[in-house]
Amino acid sequence: MRVIITRPAGDAPPWVDALQAAGYTACALPLIEVGPARHTQAVAQAWAQWPSFQAVMFVSAQAVRYFFESQPAGNTWANGPRCWATGPGTHKALLQAGVPEASIDSPAADAAQFDSEALWRRVASQVKAGQPVLIVRGNDASATAEGAAAINNAQAEHSTVVAGTGRDWLAQQLQAAGASAQFVVAYERRAPAWSAEQQALAAQAAADGTVWCFSSSQAIHHLAQAMPTQSWARARCIATHPRIAQTARSLGFGEIQISKPSFADLLVSLESPA
């Protein structure tokens, strides 16, 4: 069985190596390219306001990496905000960035899902009214400069968020609890430029029993853009969240499984019939 990892190029190799070590034929076919945000001033401003936040929520490991690339010297965690992570990958990235374990909140390891809803159940009781929470997220490179700037300036009213992707649901919960949400874009996502060889691999993998692994709905959107006439009726995939599975279903994937976003759970899904 061949398995395709669609994570960004920087994240894919450990997954490919682990799958190969487990006996699978695995390869990377990144469906998202990631780079720093064009508007770096907003990240610098967020760091300047760091002590004023009661918590900083990171939507992904990429959000952690690009945000912490701009970390000023001398920051201390003694009186700093809590750091919120939606899942184990983001939690690990925070630890790698130097955040103490005691300063991180994330869903329990045995949570049914790793998402904003699970995180909220973990942190709702500690939210303080009247104090902001910063949400660090990404933006699509195709968004206009005005749209990206609007995200960076958006405040508590989730209706003012006009572009990008993030955790607007969480912002609603914070608003209802009397807190405020601020957003900052730390990185940009774009569709990859495939080689002819990668295009051919994708076409073959649409119908030969290959299992596609999706950890992002955006990756599936990019796949649809790259292959607009391809039928996916015979294609198989594993998605790391029900919303991602629904996106794959909308594209027409014939066989879809849902797995938690950990390697152990991915192996269980690969070894189990759909």
Residue-range domain boundaries for the chain:
2-32+192-271, 35-190
Amino acid at residue number 268: V
Q: What is the mean pLDDT of each run of 10 residues along the chain (274 residues)?
A: 93 95 96 89 92 94 93 77 93 94 91 88 94 93 45 33 54 94 93 93 96 95 95 97 95 96 92 73
Give the pLDDT score at 250: 97
Give the pLDDT score at 22: 95
| Matching CATH number, 2-32+192-271, of 2.40.128.20, 3.30.360.10, 3.40.50.150, 3.40.50.10090 | 3.40.50.10090
Helix (H/G/I), strand (E/B), else coil: 55: strand
Nearest to 99 by CA among 45, 131, 136, 127: 136
Give the pLDDT score at 26: 97
Residues in the chain: 274
Beta strands in the chain (DSSP E): 2-5, 25-28, 33-36, 55-58, 82-85, 104-105, 132-140, 180-190, 211-214, 236-239, 255-258
Give the pLDDT score at 145: 40
> What CATH number does the domain located at 35-190 have?
3.40.50.10090
Give the pLDDT score at 38: 85
Nearest to 236 by CA among 269, 192, 195: 269
pTM to 2 decimals? Answer: 0.75
Angle, CA of 45, 150 and 216, to the nearest 5°: 95
Domains 2-32+192-271 and 35-190 share a fold: yes
